[in-house]
Structure 1
């Protein structure tokens, strides 16, 4: 059984998830005053906890383990490959600011891919439709593609501050977007698309036939949408804090280009509004209009009750 059948247990999980959303949103608003190391944990831990509970309610824990394993393997492989060869992200290396590493990549990077990748996946299914055993090929390809754009929107907001300003990683040839090259975002799209496409194929061909068939309430999907929106909040908040505090200076990237930190935070705020928050609103409106329909029986199963029995 993939979803929790006990209504009381499901209600408790739902309240708990809303509580995580509220706490995470509060932390996003307070992010300018949270110390760096603690800020990383405050960001990752609630997202991972949310994804584990939320995903299990829809897919079951075994499928979520598969999602996590696929994401970790693909993301770590692609990151290490790029550090060694420059493909697909470009030439860069991580500093020691993010702590211990798995090969050449900090351990914190994998959970970040899992957490925001899951939220992006949910938004993709809200915008396009569910992916499950017997699903249309269109859904199987379109959901990972749209979700990859949703994931890259986050990196557009995040990368210049984390790299050029905070020096968590260094772009050795720098780049035109505040020291970040275009190849980074193309590499992000490719990497995210790969692990989400593999997961989609798993659901379509090897998943449980009952996975993601029983509808869940709309509030369940609003939770993931709100969580993604909360991720976006930290960038306008950071910009407002810098603006009020007058905390702006210059940073120099690896190519010797000098950038104003205030310009970086303002651009991140702008991009979060026109990309991440736009997608948040779009998904919420799409869900409110009932398009696409929430997970339901496929056409070939509509007249076969046994096909959807749990």
Structure 2
């Protein structure tokens, strides 16, 4: 890393570190507030997406430099938007669906809010994968250039398993034209999710191998993304405990689903998929600090 890069990073760390604490806490508070107050997706989703977007940009800049994290966000937004529009038009790779107007304005056929959410949660999932695999420098040397995208993609899909039935079947932010086995969501959707996030992760991994910029030693480097990600685990639990709305909903295929069953099962899925990834990242990060 050049002297100019080092100076830039050290100077930036004085304000980046407290800003990251604020954004990590803001993402958790906004997520919980949206669940507790039943905010419209255009409001609650926008608060969460904005805080995660800014968090990912700043934390990513401290890891890969501004050029690196901008490449990450361009690859993420470009590839995910292309795959989403392709699926809406052709049914590949997610299945046949369309977005309603509940999430606000759209870029082509996809709401603008989707992009920041992809990037925000995508960057956190990437960072959790790095923590699990021991990638302390961000250089992605050797097998890490393949292993990190593979693990990060599983983390991303595990999160989608907790939100898709509620966001589509219950609240109608998007509609699956033929329903699906997983509370109105088709099986192929999750394969499409894995493909999409793996592609942009792998593209970035190949790019990141060229970077000579190990991350800055900002205080709480690992704990901040772990804190920001914690709301992804707790939010479904809060929804199950506090949302007492009973009844059922019918998907476009005519299948009737019980609201409580959707909330209960997605919470269980989160507790036994999202939570283990998070705990593994926490335990391994703590062990490295103690060593």
The normalised TM-score by structure 1 is 0.86
Structure showing greater radius of gyration is 1
Structure 1 position 71, deviation (Å): 0.7
Q: Report if aligned partners of 1:229, 1:276 keep a CA contact under 8 Å in 2.
A: no
The residue number in structure 2 matching 1:35 is 39
Aligned-partner Cα distance in 1 for 2:28–2:140: 37
The aligned counterpart of 2:28 is 25
CA shift for structure 1 position 132: 5.5
Q: CA deviation at 1:15?
A: 2.2
Distance 1:189 1:289 in 2: 30
CA distance in 2: counterparts of 1:276 and 1:176, whole angstroms: 21
Equivalent in the alignment of 1:279: 277
Identify the match of residue 154 of structure 1 among 154, 159, 166: 159
SS at match of 2:10: coil
Contact 2:81 2:115 in 1 (8 A): yes
Q: 2:259 aligned with 1:258, yes or no?
A: no
User: What are the Cα deviations for residues 144-198 of structure 1, in whole angstroms up to 9, with x where unaligned?
Assistant: 0000000011100010000001111111111111000110001000000000000
SS in 1 for 2:262: helix
Query: After the TM superposition, which of the residue ranges 98-107 and 168-177 deviates more from structure 2?
Result: 98-107
Q: Deviations over 1:194-220 (max 9, x none)?
A: 00000000111xx332x22x5635721
Contact preservation (8 Å) 1:235, 1:272: yes
TM-score by length of 2: 0.91
Q: How far did residue 29 of structure 1 move?
A: 2.7
The answer as to 2:136 corresponding to 1:135 is no
- Residue 34 to residue 13, structure 1, CA distance change in 2 (3 Å): farther
What displacement does 1:228 show? 1.2
1:91-111 C-alpha deviation (Å, 9 max, x unpaired): 111111111211111111111
**SS of aligned partner of 1:289:** helix
Alignment pair present for 1:58 and 2:94:
no
Are 1:117 and 2:109 counterparts?
no
State the Cα deviation string for residues 37-65 of structure 1 (Å, max 9, x = none). 21111211111111111111111111111
Structure 1 segments unaligned to the other structure (5+ residues): 294-310
1:15 aligned to 1, 11, 18, which one? 18
CA distance in 1, matches of 2:220, 2:203: 28
Alpha-carbon spacing, 1:34–1:14, altered in 2? closer, same or farther (3 Å): farther
Q: Are the counterparts in 1 of residues 79 and 196 from structure 2 also a CA contact under 8 Å?
A: yes
Deviations 1:96-153 (A, max 9, x none): 11112111111111111111110011111111143766710x1100000000000011
Matched, 1:182 2:187: yes
Q: Paired residue for 1:304?
A: none
